Amino acid sequence: MSILLLTIFLSLLLAGLFVAWFIQDQADRPIRSAEQEALLPLRKDANEK
């Protein structure tokens, strides 16, 4: 029974860490629309002309 509790604890710990890292990663990015994200690779070409 103790192995089952340890497994559940570690699974919840890892899930919490991944959720925290995902939220931190999303908070670091500027908010953009899907259209802005799609045109982002073309921005470099437009500045070179």
Tokens of 8: 């559940």
List strand residue ranges (DSSP E) for 1-49, in order: none
> Taking the model in full, what pTM does it have?
0.56
Q: 13 lies in which domain range?
A: 2-48
Residues in Cβ contact with 47 at an 8 Å cutoff, skipping those fewer than 6 apart: none
Span between the terminal Cα atoms of the chain, in Å: 68
Residues in Cβ contact with 40 at an 8 Å cutoff, skipping those fewer than 6 apart: 32
pLDDT in tens, 11-35: 999 999 999 999 998 888 777 777 7
Q: How many domains does the chain have?
A: 1
Residues in Cβ contact with 32 at an 8 Å cutoff, skipping those fewer than 6 apart: 40
Query: Which pLDDT score, from 0 to 100, does residue 11 have?
Result: 98
